[in-house]
Structure 1
Amino acid sequence: MDFGVTSKLWEYGIGSRTSAMTEKNIDGSFAEIAAAKVAEKVADKGYAAGMSFKDMWQTRFPGAYYHIMDGNKIPQSVWDRNDFPMEKFFQDDVDESVLNWEPAGAMPSATGSQVQSRWNSVSGEKSIIVPTKLEEKMKNDPELAKRVMANVEKFITTYSATSVRPGRVCSWLISLDENGEIEKFRVTGSGGNISGPTEAEQRQFEAEQAAKKKRREKYAKLNEESSLKRKMLEQDIDRRYYKSSVARHNAYNAYEKSIVEI
């Protein structure tokens, strides 16, 4: 039986949260060390110069799907639902109407046969949603594309090492924001032991995203202030140059006049 894991909603279904957390505490140290080592390898991974983000994504994860669309249009409350048609993103062509999908009733249980069938259909696959603005940014800035790829790969690697039980085969659906940060994600697994992140892990992820957003806003404000200062400085230089030019012109005219009078 499969259980989907999203960036907001976790359904365990079998076993208590207490037992799951106890197991995690036992395995935590080893998993974190393993994740750190793998993350180091990810950071050192090299890609061909000028390689697009799509090429890096599909080179690292052969067969992975890549969609340029604004996933931020999907509300978190909709994204988290068990009946959200996330399987539509695991195909080459996606109708953008999925961005406006709305539930028709109460959310079905994760153990329901229809939900399980849909989740099983994409087991082991990966798909990423890239906003149009981010795609344009990365086309013009290959280094940005590399940083985004490193961030995504590190997330998958670290999450797999720390939050996925042995034997689980997971599908990954990741939605990026316009700055290349992970806005939302869904992890659906099958086989092995039922697993999911703790509330503390979820709070940490949300806190990190909030901190990154705050830093981006701070940098944007600093850039705006810096741009304003540069503009004011340029205007001041132009004004001084104009005054200096006028003074030189007046002095020259006065000099010529004095010569004529002599």
Structure 2
Amino acid sequence: MNLGVTGKLGGYYLAEQYRKNAAADKNGGVSFAELAAAKAAGQPKVPGMSFKDMWQARFPGAYYHVMDGSAISQGAWDRNDFPFERFFSDHVDESILNWTPSGAEPPAGNSEVQSRWSSMAGKKAVIVPPALDEKMKNNPELAKRVMADVENFIATYPATPGCSYLIEVDENGGISKYRVTSPGQITVSSSEFVDARRAREAKHAEYERLAEEAALKRKLMEQETDERYYQTSITKKAVSIAAYEAAGILK
């Protein structure tokens, strides 16, 4: 199917198509990535949709923030008084990255806490580090993968209707922290989730270390091959000269 859509109308059409397919049977539906690919295929001069475009087309009204969310400690992130509602707006002051509590943590049943949680019902926001945002601009496939992971998290998370989602991704595109909130309760990224993220980071670091070692070994082998070739060439040349001298050619 050739969508052949452009501009704002095209973005609206893609979003509508995706919502219709998402409501249909999953086996017969078309994924957002496929719709984006179809759009790009129909217009080869138009670059693929950015992660921000996909995120806000899939979840209209969702917020997108480029900042280093890893600066927010897990302890601050988990608190009932952490001002996560600031992320559900178009602009967020980066001072939130250094937020510290001013007193004892209020209980979940606190009326002010409940009021804040209720005001965020149904909203979604994602925090993307600058390095990843830049990488995804130059790598549409990476953007699609990150979008698929985030969308799958929201689709499979056992939340009640009307929940708000605040998701932070790391520089590799993995979900590093989250807050899922519904009126009356909140679920934050658990210690198991954090441990799993750290395990992924350690595995990634180990992979990079092994890749560097493999690259170094290849370089050393290439150098050894070059040296052997050079030595062989010198030896052959010396033998040839000796043979010529023995035959009286070079006398």
TM-score (norm 2): 0.74
Contact 2:108 2:185 in 1 (8 A): no
Judged with a 3 Å threshold, the aligned counterparts in structure 2 of structure 1 residues 42 and 195 are, in CA distance, closer, same or farther, namely: farther
Judged with a 3 Å threshold, the aligned counterparts in structure 2 of structure 1 residues 94 and 206 are, in CA distance, closer, same or farther, namely: closer
Which position in structure 2 is the counterpart of 1:129?
127
Contact 1:74 1:99 in 2 (8 A): yes
Write out aligned runs for 1:8-157 (5 A).
Answer: 45-46=33-34, 47-48=36-37, 49=40, 50-157=48-155
How far is 1:232 from its partner? 1.3
How far is 1:71 from its partner? 0.4
Q: RMSD over aligned Cα, in angstroms?
A: 3.0
Which position in structure 1 is the counterpart of 2:176?
183
Q: Percent identity?
A: 53
Contact 1:43 1:150 in 2 (8 A): no
Paired with 1:41 and 1:145, the residues of 2 have a C-alpha distance of: 21
Name the SS of the counterpart of 1:259 in structure 2: coil
Paired with 1:182 and 1:38, the residues of 2 have a C-alpha distance of: 24
Which position in structure 2 is the counterpart of 1:259?
249
Contact 1:65 1:127 in 2 (8 A): yes
Judged with a 3 Å threshold, the aligned counterparts in structure 2 of structure 1 residues 227 and 43 are, in CA distance, closer, same or farther, namely: farther
Q: Which of 161, 166, 170 does residue 163 from structure 2 map onto?
A: 170
Paired with 1:232 and 1:181, the residues of 2 have a C-alpha distance of: 35
Q: Which stretches of structure 1, 4 residues or more, deviate above 4 A after TM superposition? A: 37-45, 194-197, 201-204, 251-258
TM-score (norm 1): 0.71
Judged with a 3 Å threshold, the aligned counterparts in structure 2 of structure 1 residues 203 and 102 are, in CA distance, closer, same or farther, namely: closer
**How many residues are treated as equivalent by the alignment?**
215
Write out aligned runs for 1:198-217 (5 A).
Answer: 202=190, 205-206=193-194, 208-217=196-205
Judged with a 3 Å threshold, the aligned counterparts in structure 2 of structure 1 residues 69 and 252 are, in CA distance, closer, same or farther, namely: farther
Judged with a 3 Å threshold, the aligned counterparts in structure 2 of structure 1 residues 196 and 129 are, in CA distance, closer, same or farther, namely: closer
Contact 2:180 2:186 in 1 (8 A): no
Contact 1:42 1:154 in 2 (8 A): no
Contact 1:38 1:158 in 2 (8 A): no
Q: Which of 210, 214, 220 does residue 226 from structure 1 map onto?
A: 214
Name the SS of the counterpart of 2:135 in structure 1: helix
